[in-house]
């Protein structure tokens, strides 16, 4: 992600000093899912007036609606919707005294607008050498990339470069938390861990793609064991191993990374027909704005 002057890596992330529009521009370049929360109506004493906005992603937030429990609840609501996948534009009412325990005593209506919630999600298990080469490539593509590992020393350089990371003591537990239709790339330092990740991902039955790094020998061993342990052997058809585009050869980390990136471009390139997600979102938002305008009149 290219960042504004003097805002690099973690300095940019989760910063209330970053204007909401600057945050949108950065997130649009990244293709990362986000929510714009806007105060569209107010009654009584409130932290910020109508028109105040903040931007919320699955991990970070930018600008502010005034802080306090109101902002906290807005962030929770937005992240719950982002996690569930494609989200509808909505308006919610918050009573600062009755519902949120804030002394302002007023009430606000907040409109939630969601963007890029259909951007393909790539979840990489294993932050090793290939991942270090792969992540900068994927960062330039319209993909939402998350790297999962137990080793902080491997995650730190990725996080500092702007890649979303998650540190799990036991990465296997992360499988249950993945969004549906995720594209999973498995390439940890441990074959036993690779196997368990692949098995649980296949059992989910709702992943868009499951790719496993490895040789033909590893593929044969894994397929034999998976055939015995999967609840339905037919689920094995959902595993791609070795991962990577067959026309791109080489064993160097960058060569493998380019091969995997090429395959991910291929499997994520399908676009739904009809109106784009952004067009639908803007249409929904404009309808809500019209309703709110009529109510005020």
pLDDT tens digit string along 157-180?
Answer: 999 998 989 999 999 999 998 888
Specify whether 132 is located in the same domain as 256.
Answer: yes
pLDDT of residue 272: 46
Q: Which domain holds residue 169?
A: 121-267
- What predicted TM-score, i.e. pTM, was given to this entire model? 0.66
Of 14, 18, 114, nearest to 61 by C-alpha is: 14
Quick check: 122 and 261 in contact, CB under 8 A? no
Reported as a pLDDT band with limits 50, 70 and 90, residue 288 is: low
Specify whether 126 is located in the same domain as 110.
Answer: no
Reported as a pLDDT band with limits 50, 70 and 90, residue 103 is: low
Quick check: 178 and 207 in contact, CB under 8 A? yes
Specify whether 225 is located in the same domain as 131.
Answer: yes
Specify whether 55 is located in the same domain as 170.
Answer: no
Specify whether 248 is located in the same domain as 287.
Answer: no
Could you tell me which residues are beta bridge partners of residue 145?
122
Is residue 227's pLDDT more than 90?
A: yes
pLDDT of residue 17: 78
- Any residues with CB less than 8 A from the CB of 18 and at least 6 apart, and which? 4, 7, 12, 62, 63
Residue 144 domain-assigned (yes or no) = yes
Specify whether 148 is located in the same domain as 39.
Answer: no
Quick check: 32 and 59 in contact, CB under 8 A? no
| Three state DSSP letters for 154-187 | HHHHHHHCCCEEEECCCHHHHHHHCCCCCEEEEC
Specify whether 103 is located in the same domain as 206.
Answer: no
- Total count of domains within the chain: 2
Residue 95 domain-assigned (yes or no) = yes
Specify whether 203 is located in the same domain as 127.
Answer: yes
Could you tell me which residues are beta bridge partners of residue 92?
110
Gap between the Cα atoms of 94 and 256, Å rounded: 50
User: Measured between alpha carbons, how far is residue 62 from residues 35, 80, 130, 173, 242 in Å?
Assistant: 10, 17, 32, 29, 40
Residue 1 domain-assigned (yes or no) = no
Specify whether 90 is located in the same domain as 126.
Answer: no
Looking at per-residue confidence, does 285 or 257 come out higher? 257
């Amino acid at each position: 992600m290219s960042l504004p002057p003097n805002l690099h890596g973690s300095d940019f992330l989760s910063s209330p000093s970053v204007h909401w529009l600057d945050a949108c521009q950065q997130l649009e370049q990244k293709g990362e899912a986000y929510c714009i929360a806007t105060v569209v109506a107010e009654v009584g004493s409130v932290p910020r007036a109508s028109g105040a906005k903040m931007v919320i992603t699955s991990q970070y937030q930018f600008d502010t609606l005034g802080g306090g429990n109101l902002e906290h609840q807005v962030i929770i609501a937005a992240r719950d919707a982002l996690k569930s996948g494609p989200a509808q534009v909505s308006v919610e009412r918050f009573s600062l005294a009755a519902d949120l325990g804030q002394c302002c005593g007023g009430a606000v209506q907040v409109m939630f607008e969601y963007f890029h919630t259909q951007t393909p999600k790539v979840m990489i298990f294993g932050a090793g050498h290939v991942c270090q080469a792969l992540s900068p490539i994927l960062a330039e593509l319209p993909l939402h990339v998350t790297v999962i590992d137990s080793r902080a020393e491997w995650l730190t350089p990725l996080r500092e470069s702007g890649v979303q990371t998650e540190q799990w003591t036991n990465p296997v537990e992360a499988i249950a938390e993945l969004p549906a239709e995720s594209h999973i790339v498995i390439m940890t330092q441990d074959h036993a861990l690779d196997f368990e990740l692949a098995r649980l991902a296949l059992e989910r039955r709702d992943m868009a793609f499951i790719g496993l790094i490895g040789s033909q020998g590893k593929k044969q061993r894994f397929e034999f064991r998976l055939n015995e342990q999967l609840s339905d052997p037919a689920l094995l058809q959902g595993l791609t191993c070795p991962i990577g585009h067959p026309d791109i050869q080489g064993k160097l980390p960058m060569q493998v990374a380019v091969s995997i990136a090429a395959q991910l471009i291929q499997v994520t390139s399908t676009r739904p027909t009809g109106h784009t997600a952004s067009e639908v979102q803007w249409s929904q938002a404009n309808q809500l704005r019209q309703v709110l305008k009529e109510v005020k009149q």
